[in-house]
């Protein structure tokens, strides 16, 4: 029987409901809980297609979409946890349906101008922008 200060925790250490910002941090999708909370406030977190606040709760079966660190993560909740756990245990708490991360092969070429050439002309600027466009 849970005590008066257990906040609904059962014997396995999991909770019936957990805030989405806490769950995102617990399963290591963000490095800190404040980053998870900030992502929620900025509208970068969706549960089942709906933008949510940090206080929204998650349950098994929910699809959580998180845009963080320049990449979108799409995960389906399989287990609800409230405390941060190790990476192998965290991986068991969700099914990752995210698209593969962008390849690191492509790096935009850097436009180098000789010292003392002054400001670039409009034609020079357009050529530099053309170099920085990713290949299609």
Determine, yes or no, domain membership for 48: yes
pLDDT value of position 133: 75
Model pTM above 0.75: no
For 68, the domain range is 18-96
pLDDT value for 14: 47
Residue 22 lies in a domain: yes
Give the C-alpha separation, 6 to 93, whole Å: 22
Sequence-distant (6+) residues with CB within 8 A of 90 are: 26, 27, 28, 81, 84
Residue 90 lies in a domain: yes
pLDDT of residue 112: 72
pLDDT at 43: 94
- Residue 25 domain-assigned (yes or no): yes
The per-residue pLDDT for 132 is 76
Count of domains in the chain? 1
Residues 6+ apart with CB under 8 A from 51: 43, 45
- Residue 64: give its domain's CATH number: 3.10.290.10
The pLDDT assigned to 86 comes to 94
In a domain, 104, yes or no: no
* 31 domain residue, yes or no: yes
Question: Which positions of the chain have pLDDT values less than 50?
Answer: 3, 6, 8-15
Question: For residue 114, what pLDDT is reported?
Answer: 80
């Amino acid at each position: 029987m849970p005590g008066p200060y257990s906040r609904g925790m059962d014997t396995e250490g999991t909770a019936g409901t957990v805030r989405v910002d806490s769950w995102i941090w617990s399963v290591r999708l963000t490095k800190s809980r404040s980053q998870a909370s900030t992502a929620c406030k900025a509208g970068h977190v969706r549960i089942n297609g709906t933008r949510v606040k940090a206080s929204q709760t998650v349950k098994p079966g929910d699809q959580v979409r998180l845009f963080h660190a320049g990449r979108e993560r799409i995960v389906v909740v399989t287990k609800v946890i409230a405390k941060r756990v190790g990476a192998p245990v965290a991986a068991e708490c969700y099914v990752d349906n995210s698209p593969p991360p962008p390849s690191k092969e492509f790096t935009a070429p850097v436009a180098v101008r000789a010292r003392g050439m002054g400001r670039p002309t409009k034609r020079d600027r357009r050529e530099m922008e053309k170099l920085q466009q990713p290949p299609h």
